[in-house]
Structure 1
Amino acid sequence: MTAPGTDEPGTDEPGIDTERWKERGVMLRVFVYVFATHAFAGFVWILFYVGQHAQK
Structure 2
Amino acid sequence: MSQRETLDSTTEPTEPTEPTEPTEPTEPTESTEPTEPTDPTPAPTGLRRMESKFPRGLVIRLIAYLFVGHLFAFFVYLLFVLGAENQ
Alignment TM-score > 0.5, same fold: yes
Count of residue pairs brought into register by the alignment: 40
Partner of residue 64, structure 2 = 29
Larger RCO: Structure 1 or Structure 2 (Cα < 8 Å, ≥ 6 residues apart)?
A: 2
Q: Which has the larger radius of gyration?
A: 2
Correspondence for 2:83: 48
Structure having the larger proportion of residues in helix:
1
Identity fraction in percent: 10
Give the aligned CA root-mean-square deviation in angstroms: 2.1
Q: Any unmatched runs of 5+ in structure 1?
A: 2-8
Residue 62 of structure 2 aligns to a residue in which SS? Answer: helix
Structure 2 unaligned spans of 5+: 1-9, 11-43
User: 1 CA distance for matches of 2:63 and 2:45?
Assistant: 28
**After superposition, what is the alpha-carbon deviation per residue over 1:2-55, rounded to whole angstroms, capped at 9, x for unaligned?**
xxxxxxx7325xxx6xx7111000000110011000000000110100001xxx
> What is the TM-score when the length of structure 2 is the normalising length?
0.40
Which structure 1 residue ranges, 4+ long, deviate > 3 Å from structure 2? none
- TM-score normalised to the size of structure 1? 0.60
